[in-house]
Structure 1
Amino acid sequence: MSRRQVGFVGLGNMGGRMTRRLVGAGIAVVGYDVRDGQAAAAGALAAGSPAEVCAGSECVLLSLPDSTVVESVVLGDGGLAAAARSGQVIIDLSTAAPASTRRIHAALGALGVEYLDAGISGGAAAAEQGTLTIMAGGSAAALDAIRWVFEPIASKVVLMGESGAGHSTKLLNNFLNAVSLAATAEVMVAARKAGLDLAAVLDVINSSSGVNYATLNRFPRIIKGDYLEGGLTSALMTKDVVLYVDHVRELGVPCLNAAGPLASFGAAGNLGYGDKISNRVVDAIGDLAGGVRLFSPAADGAKDAR
């Protein structure tokens, strides 16, 4: 019996990790990335173009930087729309603008091709462990038909509604992620400058009303010098917050809380951390506070020796 085959376009930090999970589960992957060597590094058979991943693949997954790139890959010259078969499913795992998603869904639907938006959450660690959360938008029947492809990469898959609903949910989630990460980074820099024990501060916060994902899962490792490299960069976090601002404006909802994360991750980009994991925003804030670092091997080693 031949192996199932999927196509995958975009084999970067997240796409590469998901591809390795699929290959490890015995699924053949034909992959394409604009950077040479990415497909081989992920264990996929390299394709020469996005369109080539369609041939022989039951479905095609996308993990791309933004809606402009997604539209080019799907609808541009030599894109997936020209090569996809009627009944084939294209799954967009990117963080993208819901309005763009709905346009692509309509264009592919006219060709008999299913399009699912499937925002992912959990970061690089969850991608490696196969425990991502997927928030999907589109046809329930199309989602049911390709659930098998999510089994190696996700522990939770939820259909949020019609086309665009998955990407809408992802933007809402990512905004809260940005707010909590930026705010916690600022608080932890202040705690360091106040001379507080950072582990004790986190212990108290995680038992109090300030608890959030960053205090629970990120900063217990960051204060030990582990920035959890490999996930969403500060530049991409800024892009996601801008997408959120645009989305809520379209919905007619006042946007009153975006200034903080936009300033924080914008500063990170301006200070040279734009292409580094967004957790490094704490170093950007530390720079602005006079060169503060939460982890200092020499200082922490001396403290432990006392």
Structure 2
Amino acid sequence: MNIGFIGLGVMGRPMARHLIDAGHTLYVNRVKAASQALVEAGAIACDTPAEVARRSEIVITIVPDTPDVEAVLFGPEGVSEGLQQGALVIDMSSISPVATKAFAERIRAGGGGYVDAPVSGGEVGAKAGTLTIMAGGSEADFARARPLFEIMGKTITHVGEVGDGQTTKVANQIIVGLNIQAVAEALVFAKASGADPAKVREALMGGFADSTILKVHGERMINRTFDPGFRLRLHQKDLDLAVNAARNLNLGLPNTSTVAQLMNAAVGHGEGERDHSALIEVVERLSRP
């Protein structure tokens, strides 16, 4: 198929490459040095999102935040200006569920389809093609999108209507964020008590406290390897979505709110571009005299 792909960042680049390798023709926008290899592999660079849309049956977006999606879709020379009748927009960003529903209504009013399909699995999952994809949209639109999802991901779930994918991703980020905080506190506690955090982590793996976070991010915390698989500032944004939604729904999410504040502190300390496992350094600073 002719596929538009907008958002060639840490996640988008390997996802786009999988689609190229599967034989699809990709039209891309805003090619930078880091994504030049995609053009060399066969992707076709376009000057604007509208041009991408004019040449594509399906347009995939994966950009950082809600305003970025809105700008790509509806800004000057945006996707909506070039979208073919019957074309499908798949937004794989992690953004507001409320805004997602509004975006879908505007795309549908113009004759297109819409699926929200945020992902989990980080850069590692994007490179391996093993992402978890949580999708919202009509049965027909999901069926069109699924063959592409199967190229980029491993666990693919049609959660429900448009917006439900984003709701699922926010729930995912709550669980991941709180687990990162729990592992960070446990390792800080172990070190302060005189134990070897690496040995403590090893002892906990395989028991009831075991988790992917303990395995992957626990190791990052111990080795101080905070090159981003998923940037802390992006997780901060996702927890802000959770806190704001909880306020609108009159929900008490006390631990989510606490971790969101700690991520705010990390970003304020200049750590927003590091991996979210660097949250341990906030815990360490809180404990130092």
User: What's the TM-score, normalizing by structure 2?
Assistant: 0.91
DSSP 3-state at the match of 1:187: helix
Shift of 1:263: 2.8
Shift of 1:289: 4.0
Work out which of the residue numbers 15, 21, 25 in structure 2 matches 1:24: 21
Work out which of the residue numbers 3, 7, 11 in structure 2 matches 1:6: 3
Query: Partners of 2:108 and 2:267 in 1: how far apart?
Result: 39
Query: Partners of 2:268 and 2:105 in 1: how far apart?
Result: 38
Q: Which residue identity does 2:23 align to in structure 1?
A: G
Q: Which residue identity does 1:161 align to in structure 2?
A: G
Query: Partners of 2:286 and 2:271 in 1: how far apart?
Result: 13
DSSP 3-state at the match of 2:11: helix
Q: Does 1:51 align with 2:50?
A: yes
Shift of 1:225: 4.5
Shift of 1:290: 4.3
Shift of 1:288: 4.5
Work out which of the residue numbers 32, 42, 58 in structure 1 matches 2:38: 42
Query: Partners of 1:170 and 1:284 in 2: how far apart?
Result: 24
Query: Partners of 1:284 and 1:41 in 2: how far apart?
Result: 37
DSSP 3-state at the match of 2:26: strand
Shift of 1:82: 1.3
Q: Which residue identity does 1:185 align to in structure 2?
A: A
What are the equivalent positions in structure 2 for 1:202-221 lying under 5 Å apart?
Answer: 202-221=201-220
| Alignment correspondent of 1:244 | 242
| Alignment correspondent of 2:166 | 167
Would the alpha carbon gap of residues 230 and 17 (structure 1) be closer, same or farther in structure 2, given more than 3 Å must change? Answer: farther
1:137-160 per-residue CA deviation (whole Å, 9 max, x = no partner) reads 011111111222122210111111
1:58-83 per-residue CA deviation (whole Å, 9 max, x = no partner) reads 21111111111111111222211111
Q: Which runs of 5+ in 1 are unaligned?
A: 292-306
Query: Partners of 1:268 and 1:184 in 2: how far apart?
Result: 16
Q: Which residue identity does 2:33 align to in structure 1?
A: G
Shift of 1:213: 2.9
Q: Which residue identity does 1:107 align to in structure 2?
A: R
Query: Partners of 1:250 and 1:109 in 2: how far apart?
Result: 26
Q: Which residue identity does 2:114 align to in structure 1?
A: Y
Shift of 1:116: 0.5
| Alignment correspondent of 2:131 | 132
Query: Partners of 1:40 and 1:174 in 2: how far apart?
Result: 31
- Most deviating of 247-256 and 8-17: 247-256
Shift of 1:7: 0.7
RMSD: 2.0
What are the equivalent positions in structure 2 for 1:1-306 lying under 5 Å apart?
Answer: 4-33=1-30, 36-43=32-39, 44-227=43-226, 229-290=227-288
Query: Partners of 1:189 and 1:24 in 2: how far apart?
Result: 44
1:5-28 per-residue CA deviation (whole Å, 9 max, x = no partner) reads 211111111111211222222222
- Most deviating of 149-158 and 115-124: 149-158
1:114-141 per-residue CA deviation (whole Å, 9 max, x = no partner) reads 0100010011100000000100001111
Query: Partners of 2:249 and 2:161 in 1: how far apart?
Result: 16
Query: Partners of 1:272 and 1:285 in 2: how far apart?
Result: 15
DSSP 3-state at the match of 1:31: strand
Query: Partners of 1:119 and 1:185 in 2: how far apart?
Result: 26
DSSP 3-state at the match of 1:245: helix
Give 1 or 2: higher helix fraction. 2
What is the total number of aligned residue pairs between the two structures?
286
1:179-204 per-residue CA deviation (whole Å, 9 max, x = no partner) reads 11122112212222222122321233
Would the alpha carbon gap of residues 10 and 194 (structure 1) be closer, same or farther in structure 2, given more than 3 Å must change? Answer: same
